[in-house]
Structure 1
Amino acid sequence: MQQIDSKDTFTPSTGQTQVIGSPQPIVALAGDDVILPCQLEPASAVTRTVEWIRPDLNPQYIHLHQNGQLIIHEQNPLYKNRTGLFLDELRNGNVSLKLSRVKLSDEGKYRCFIPSIWTGAIIQLTVGQAQVIGSPQPIVAIAGDDVILPCRLEPAISAVTRTVEWTRPDLNPQYIHVHQSGRPIVHDQNPLYKYRTGLFLDELRNGNVSLKLSRVKLSDEGKYRCFIPSIWSEAIIQLTVGAFSSPVIEITKNSSGVVLGCESKGWYPEPEVFWLDGEGNILSAGPTETVRGPDGLYTVSSRVTVEKTDTNRFTCRVQQQNINQTRETHIHVPDDFFTVPAAGHINIVLAVVFMCIVAVVFVVWRWRRNKIKTKMHHEDETEQREGEKKTESINNDTELQVLMEGEKDREELTAEREAMKDLDKKKTKLEEELQKKEVKRKNTEEEVARLMGRKTELEDLRKKLKLQLKEVETQREEEEKKLRSFFLHLRREEREQVMAKKKDLETRKSELDEQLRSTENELADRNSEIPRMTEKKSKAENEKEQINVELKETEKQRDEIERKLQSVSREITEREAESQEELQEKDKDVEGQADTT
């Protein structure tokens, strides 16, 4: 503390000397420092006693300056180590009081009194309470994105020198981000949030203490506490995290008709599924099937049987209202899906036709045999019996041959149709898998593009921060050099200006260092993530190519079986015709023999 001449002197200028305070109340916020102004007019040096009191307290002395020092034993204990005068300014008649770490109880009337001239002034101090304001509504974020948890001081006072704590009470350790003395405190930070949190350092002076959380995870969902210890105020912010994807539709047919299946993976929280027709009306569908994977994400699926409409357009809608996300996939069902009979029906019809042909052949044969027997009835019984035996033997052989050949052909047709059916199922499955792989490849490609774009932004930001940091460092070195070289030659006001500018540059340098470090960390994450996603994209493209090859091979096999079916059908038709002709020839021979007999 600077010592003042102990001689009690008061050197007034011309005229009456007065103690001048503030005509308006002095307003301060709890936790801040404040100056209660008090000045001698005209300006005169005070070298002995200055009294600051609060008449409503006991003891009433807030600060008693006498003979160059503070008289502590007279001071009210509520103000211990919180008051002081500007000793260098006493010679100019400035007897203002600096009150540190203002409390709500400090509000009241203060008296600035100079005993040597027996005059003083009353100053009114009003103390306000700053509050921490968060968001009354939950903040919604999508997994993988960045999000801002809003928090500010009201009124908008500076938080540059204040400690800011962001915590999650349900975690251990609970500290998400702690900002103290101009930099983050990382040793107490929960490792789940390492390199993913930060404040807006340029906005702290405006009371903005919002938290930026990068690369949001599902586990980040919960309640966050924004706390300013210096004013003992807090706000709770609820973060809701969601995930979503577009649904995929597949078409199948069964005995009931055309069935549409919809599946959507990677949702959080659990979504709802709706089917809509071309006019937007909700269709009646079966219950939604829901499966939750080990990653905590939901997969939902739903099936609906549809009938032919004017447009044949249908929509699968998956939505989650908590995260305000809706995804839709539309499909147009061709008319032939509703008109072409199912494969099972085709098989039944063909089997019935085939049996009808065999029955007709058999009936014709029986009719011709009965006709021959009637014609030969009046012939000799012995010759008739021999002729009948001969005819029966011949015709039985022919019948057996026809039936055996028909059975063999039918079995061959059935086998080929089963093979065709299996290939159709395989083709449908491959087409579904191809569609899924295409969606996966497209999503991966979009993610790679997003990562590359973010990487470019981070590289530009890093370059900009390095230039700014270099510029600030140069200015700081210049101010340091100026301070060392001309310190003794500078006036007090000039020294204070240089020191203040140097301090501002150091604060700015710390802020830039923090931003650069955060940018470097995020850039490193992106550089490690891009090759992984690129490899994932290549893998999806290779899988898609393999499926295409297999699909082409399946179609080739199907075409071969279809040609074979057509060939076998022609052979059956020709064989039946030949058999019919052969039966007719044998019938003629038998009739001729009967006539001869």
Structure 2
Amino acid sequence: MVDFPGYSLSGAVASFFFILLTMRQPDNWRVIGPAHPILARIGEDALLTCQLLPKKAMMPTKVIWYRSEPSTPVFALWHGAEVTEMQMEEYRERVEWIKDDIPERSVALKISNVRPSDDGQYWCRFQENNYCEETSLLLKVTGVGSSPYIHVKGPVESGVQLVCTAKGWFPEPQVYWEDTTGKKLLSVSEHSVQDDSGLFYVEANLELRNASVETVSCFIHNPILKEEKSSVISIPEKLQNELASLKVIGPSQPIYVRVGEDIQLTCYLYPKTNAQSMEVRWVQSHHYPAVYVYTNGEHVTEEQMAEYRGRTVLVSDAINEGRLTLQIHNATTSDDGHYQCLFGKDGVYQEASLDLKIVGLGSSPQISIIGQKDREIELMCDSEGWFPQPHVQWKDMEGKTIPSFPEVLTQGSHGLFHVKTSLLVTNSFIVNVTCSISNPLLGEEKMATFSLSEPMMTFSWKIVLIWGLLPAAAVGLVMRKS
């Protein structure tokens, strides 16, 4: 036998068994992932990797990538074959197992066409029988959207109101204003919303009361990429726009529409001006998403709120005079509120406010007896289908209000009120009671009258009958004893 320096047969045997034991014993597994979050832009591909240690360990029979539960994986590989039955729907046809150009005992998963919903934590799991080891990875999805669009919205008393909007950003970006010197200008309000694809729309409002400020910039900043886009507006130039000298006129009084009927929101330019080349939008609290958008002779459906899709029609037969009417079919309680009608051209908007009141006249009240004890009767008045919250009263024959228990109000899935109110009658001289439910906006009411004469007479007769029998019973007892 030839011995080598520092080497012996016993050492070689020990090393062999150690390696063999390491390869077969999953108790020694460790799974490691990237030390830092994985960054991926929207629309590009993301590569998720993790590694099993020690490198000489045997590859387990199951490798699973998942987000919340292993039972619904992003991707699963069992005995070298892909398992798709349990795979999350949004990852089907979008994930690929990478085999080449990766380190030994490593696994890599490619997610194609990254979207905002892919953002977040993932888990990489190695499993052999009932034993498993796993590690987590953080995928940060990001994207730069449109350049900001600045428009003038007004008029505002003794000043100018600017609105900066941008869409298609992820995650939610930062918005800020600057003047020509680089001084930050404070927004009076900011608003953001995610669209159906998860991308952010942002809107920031700025009021300028300093007449010396002529140029203002709006910046949209992505906090992850440290990238931003900006736009500049020249205020004197915008104030010379055609629309700056026009007014938008809307209804001077609230518009009342019953539930289920059609709504008509009309506004027009003064003096009369052809609005065919203008953008006209009806909005609620913010510029986007809108109730309805008309531009270049077409309805812009992608900017419309989901609850108004398929319910709106634009009446534009008087558009040459600047008059437009938006019809909203089948009014619901959610339509109730404040609206704005905006005419826009070349970055200048003029607006009018509209106040829409949705009203619902409910069912006729139903009165029933729900309790009877001693010399008291409890009545219940029930009615549904009211909006807004109705006014409820119990009255006697003379029309005077009778004190009652507080009403119980509930709102159904359609926002309509269901009202129940109870009355405890203790005065036998009350013959008739009326339950009155009224709509505070319409000034209309529905009533039901309940006669207490028959129930009370029957009630009183039973009492008299029982008390009338008592003396006779007492006499009978006396006579028997004697």
Q: In which range does the TM-score fall when normalised by the shorter chain?
A: 0.3 to 0.5
**Structure with the greater alpha carbon radius of gyration:** 1
Q: TM-score normalized by structure 1?
A: 0.37
Q: Which has the higher helix share?
A: 1
Q: Which has the higher strand share?
A: 2
